[in-house]
C-alpha cells in the first residue's frame, strides 16, 4: 500500500513572529523555515508503516515555493521514497491545497494519506478534512494511535473529553496530533541519500486547480498585549491579593 | 436568509459552546436556527430552544449522530445547507472535524476560529498561535465558520423556539465508532470553568498533580496542564491548554510550574487574571501574569492551601 504525506513549509516553531508595520502580513524575510511539526509526525508515521512492512512506498507532496523542496528533502532524509513539489508562490488556501491533493490521489492511488492536523502558520485545521470530503473518503483526525488492519484502520483520536476510537475503511485520511509519535532525526548518511531521491516538479495548472485566494485578507495586526503585573513574596500574599480583587 | 448553528452536546447536555456560537451567529444580523444532531437528545433540543435569539431548533435523531462522526454529519449538514447562507459551529474537536468537509463540498473557504464579527462578511481570527490577528473578508456565497468560543459571551436562556424534526441523511458506512475513554471528573470542564489551575513540567510527576487537585477542590476550579506535562505522561491529553489543546479564558488562571512557551500562552492569555508560580524568575509566564510568585511550587502550593483553609475555603 502506498502512503501519501502532504507537507508544508512554515516558519520554524521557535521563531518569534513579527507583524509587518504596514499590516500586510507577518515578516518572513530571513526567517528560519521548517517542516510543519504536525507534518513531520505524519512523515514519521508513514516511514514507520513502511518499516513494519505495512506500506510499500511513502510519497511526500508539498505545495509551495521552490524552496519547499528543502522540506521535501527533510522528509526524504527521514525515510520517504520520493517527492512531488507543486510550485505555487504566495498563500494557497486549504481548499485549493485539498483540490490539488485530490488530483494527486487520483493519479497515485494511495491507500492512506497522513497529514498534520494543522499548519502552525495559518492554524486553519482544514486541509485533511477537505481532502477527505472531496474524495468521499472517511477520516480520522487528531490521531493519537494508528493501527492498520485489513482494508481498514483503527485510530484513537484526541478529543475534547479524552480519547475516542474509530474504525475507518481504507482508503482514508488520517491527521496527526502531537502524541502519535516522536519524529526521528535524520542521520547524515540518510541526508546524503535523500539528495539522490527523485522530486517531481509540477504546477497547480497541471492539475487544473486555480489557487487564487478566495478569502480577502484585509489586514494582519498585533494581538492586544498583556502587561506584566506585580510580584508577590509569599503564597499567602498571593491568595490574599486574589481575594482582594475578587478573583476567588 | 438564515444562519444555522450546529449544536455541541453529549446527547444529554447542551454545551456552553453552543450558546456562545449562537451569540456569534446573531452578530451576522440574520435569524438563527440550531441543529441538534444526536441520539435521544430531546433534553438538548429543549435547552437549545430556550437560548435567546434562536428562531427554530432542528432535531435529527439517529444513532449514527450519537458521536457526531464527521462523515454522517457532513451529509446531514449538506442536506440542510440550501436553506441557509451561513453555517457555524463551535471550534471544538467535533466542529473542527466535520465543518471543513461541509465547506469543501459547498466549494467555499472555511473561516476557522473567528474571534469577532466585524461585519456580516468580515471577521478576525488568530494565526501563528495567536501571535497575529488576521482580518478576513469572505467572498459572496455561503459562509462556513467555526467559532473560538472564549471570544464570545454566551446567549442567555430567554427564548422559546419551536422544535422541528428533520430527516436523517443516512450513513455511508465508511466509518464507525468503536469506543471512548473520557476523563471523569467532578470538577468543572476546562472550557467553561471560571477558575483554572494548571501544572507544567515543574510538577515533576502525575502524582504531584494531587497538590493542584486540593486547591482546585477548594476553589471549584478545573485542572489543566501544559503540553510538556501531557507529553511527559503526567496527565491525559484532554488536560492540555494551548495552541493545539484547549483555548481557555477563565476569570482566573493559575499557572504552576509552567514556563510559558508561546504555544501555552496562545491557549490562556485571554484569561481575565493570570497568577503564576515558578521558581525561575526569568520564566516568560511572568511577562503575562498579573500576580507572579517566584518560589518552589512544592513549598508554595501547600502554603496556598493553608492560607485558603485559614480564609475558610
Q: Contact A95/B103, CB-based, under 8 Å?
A: yes
A38-56 pLDDT tens trace: 999 999 999 999 999 999 9
CB–CB of A123 and B237 under 8 A? no
Identify the three-state secondary structure at position A80: coil
Give B26→chain A minimum CA distance, Å.
22
Residues 32-91 of A with CB under 8 A from B: none
Partner-chain contact A164 B180, CB within 8 Å: yes
pLDDT value for A120: 95
Per DSSP, the three-state class of B78 is helix
Bridge partners, B9 (sequence order): B14
DSSP A113: E
Q: Residue A232 forms beta bridges with which residues?
A: B293
B94 CB within 8 Å of a chain A CB: yes
CA-to-CA dists, residue A208 to A64, A124, A154, B76, angstroms: 16, 24, 34, 30
pLDDT at residue A3 greater than cutoff 90: yes
Q: What is the dihedral of CA B258, B264, B267, B273, to 10 degrees?
A: 30
Q: Are B303 and A235 in contact (CB under 8 A)?
A: yes
Closest CA to B26 of B157, B142, B155: B155
Q: In a structure prediction context, what are the per-residue pLDDT tens digits for chain B, which is 313 residues long?
A: 899 999 999 999 999 999 999 999 999 999 999 999 999 999 999 999 999 999 999 999 999 999 999 999 999 999 999 999 999 999 999 999 999 999 999 999 999 999 999 999 999 999 999 999 999 999 999 999 999 999 999 988 788 999 999 999 999 999 999 999 998 888 988 988 999 999 999 999 999 999 999 999 999 999 999 999 999 999 999 999 998 889 999 999 999 999 999 889 999 999 999 999 999 999 999 999 999 999 999 999 999 999 999 999 9
Are B132 and A123 in contact (CB < 8 Å)?
no
Q: Grid coordinates representing A3? A: 502512503
Cβ count near B223 (within 10 Å): 23
Interface test with B, best of A10, A183, A234, A247 (most B CBs within 10 A): A247
Distance from the Cα of A235 to chain B's closest Cα (Å) equals 5
* pLDDT band at residue A225 using 50, 70 and 90 as cut-offs: confident
B182 touches chain A (CB under 8 A): yes
Closest among B63, B294, B23 to B147, alpha carbons compared: B23
Please give the pLDDT value at position A228. 87
Q: What is the pLDDT of residue A5?
A: 98
Residue A222 with chain B: CB contacts under 8 Å = 132-133
For chain B, the first-to-last Cα distance in angstroms comes to 51
Question: At A111, is the pLDDT very low, low, confident or very high (cuts 50, 70, 90)?
Answer: very high
How many CB pairs below 8 A link A and B? Answer: 266
pLDDT digits (tens, 9 = 90+) for A58-98: 999 999 999 999 999 999 999 999 999 999 999 999 999 99
Contact B286 A121 (CB under 8 A): no
Q: Could you tell me how many residues make up chain A? A: 248
In Å, what is the CA distance from B134 to each residue of A25, B86, B99, B109? 8, 20, 20, 15
List chain A residues with CB under 8 Å of B176: 166-168
pLDDT, average across residues A197-212: 98
Whether A139 has its CB under 8 Å from any CB of chain B: the answer is: yes
| Contact criterion met (CB < 8 Å) for B238 and A132 | no
Chain B residues with CB under 8 Å of A165 CB are 177-180
Q: Are A211 and B274 in contact (CB under 8 A)?
A: no
A229, B289 contact by CB (below 8 A): yes
Give me the percent of chain A exceeding a pLDDT of 90.
96
Residues in B closer than 8 angstroms to A136, CB to CB, are 172
Amino acid at each position: 500500500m502506498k502512503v501519501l504525506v502532504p507537507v508544508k513549509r512554515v516558519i520554524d516553531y521557535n521563531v518569534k513572529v513579527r507583524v509587518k508595520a504596514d499590516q500586510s502580513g507577518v515578516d518572513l524575510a530571513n526567517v528560519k523555515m521548517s517542516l510543519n511539526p504536525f507534518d513531520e509526525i505524519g512523515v514519521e508515521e508513514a516511514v514507520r508503516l513502511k518499516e513494519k512492512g505495512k506500506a510499500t512506498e511513502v510519497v511526500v507532496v508539498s505545495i509551495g515555493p521552490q524552496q519547499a523542496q528543502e522540506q521535501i528533502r527533510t522528509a526524504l532524509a527521514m525515510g520517504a521514497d520520493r517527492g512531488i513539489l507543486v510550485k505555487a508562490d504566495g498563500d494557497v488556501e486549504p481548499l485549493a491545497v485539498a483540490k490539488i491533493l485530490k488530483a494527486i490521489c487520483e493519479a497515485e492511488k494511495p491507500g492512506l494519506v497522513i497529514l498534520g492536523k494543522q499548519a502552525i502558520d495559518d492554524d486553519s485545521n482544514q486541509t485533511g478534512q477537505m481532502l477527505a470530503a472531496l474524495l468521499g473518503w472517511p477520516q480520522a483526525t487528531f490521531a493519537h494511535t494508528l493501527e492498520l488492519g485489513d482494508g481498514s484502520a483503527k485510530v484513537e483520536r484526541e478529543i475534547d473529553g479524552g480519547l475516542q476510537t474509530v474504525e475507518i475503511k481504507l482508503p482514508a485520511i488520517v491527521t496527526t496530533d502531537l502524541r502519535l509519535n516522536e519524529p526521528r532525526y535524520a542521520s547524515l548518511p540518510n541526508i546524503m541519500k535523500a539528495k539522490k531521491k527523485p522530486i517531481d516538479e509540477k504546477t497547480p495548472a497541471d492539475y487544473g486547480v486555480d489557487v487564487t485566494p478566495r478569502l480577502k485578507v484585509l489586514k494582519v495586526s498585533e494581538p492586544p498585549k498583556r502587561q506584566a503585573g506585580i510580584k508577590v513574596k509569599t503564597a499567602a500574599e498571593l491568595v490574599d491579593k486574589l481575594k482582594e480583587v475578587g478573583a476567588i | 436568509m438564515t444562519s444555522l448553528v450546529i449544536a455541541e452536546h453529549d446527547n444529554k447536555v447542551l454545551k456552553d459552546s453552543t450558546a456562545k456560537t449562537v451569540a456569534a451567529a446573531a452578530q451576522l444580523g440574520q435569524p438563527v436556527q440550531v441543529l441538534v444532531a444526536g441520539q435521544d437528545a430531546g433534553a438538548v433540543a429543549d435547552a437549545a430552544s430556550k437560548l435567546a435569539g434562536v428562531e427554530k431548533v432542528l432535531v435529527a435523531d439517529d444513532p449514527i449522530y450519537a458521536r457526531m462522526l464527521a462523515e454522517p454529519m457532513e451529509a446531514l449538514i449538506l442536506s440542510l445547507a440550501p436553506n441557509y447562507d451561513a453555517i457555524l459551529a463551535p471550534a471544538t474537536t467535533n466542529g473542527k472535524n466535520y465543518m471543513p468537509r461541509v465547506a469543501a463540498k459547498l466549494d467555499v473557504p472555511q473561516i476557522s476560529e473567528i474571534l469577532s464579527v466585524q461585519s456580516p462578511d468580515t471577521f478576525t481570527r488568530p494565526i501563528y498561535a495567536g501571535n497575529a490577528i488576521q482580518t478576513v473578508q469572505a467572498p459572496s456565497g455561503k459562509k462556513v465558520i467555526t467559532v473560538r468560543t472564549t471570544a464570545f459571551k454566551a446567549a442567555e436562556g430567554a427564548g422559546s423556539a419551536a422544535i422541528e424534526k428533520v430527516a436523517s441523511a443516512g450513513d455511508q458506512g465508511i466509518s464507525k465508532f468503536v469506543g471512548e475513554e473520557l476523563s471523569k471528573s467532578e470538577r468543572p470542564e476546562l472550557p467553561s470553568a471560571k477558575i483554572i489551575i494548571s501544572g507544567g513540567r515543574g510538577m515533576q510527576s502525575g502524582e504531584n498533580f494531587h497538590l493542584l487537585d486540593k486547591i482546585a477542590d477548594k476553589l471549584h476550579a478545573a485542572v489543566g496542564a501544559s503540553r510538556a506535562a501531557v507529553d511527559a505522561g503526567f496527565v491525559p491529553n484532554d488536560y492540555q491548554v494551548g495552541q493545539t489543546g484547549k483555548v481557555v479564558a477563565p476569570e482566573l488562571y493559575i499557572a504552576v510550574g509552567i514556563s510559558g512557551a508561546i504555544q501555552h500562552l496562545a491557549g490562556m492569555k485571554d484569561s481575565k487574571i493570570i497568577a503564576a508560580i515558578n521558581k525561575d524568575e526569568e520564566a516568560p509566564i511572568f511577562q503575562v501574569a498579573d500576580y507572579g510568585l517566584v518560589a518552589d511550587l512544592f513549598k508554595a502550593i501547600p502554603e496556598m492551601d493553608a492560607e485558603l483553609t485559614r480564609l475558610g475555603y
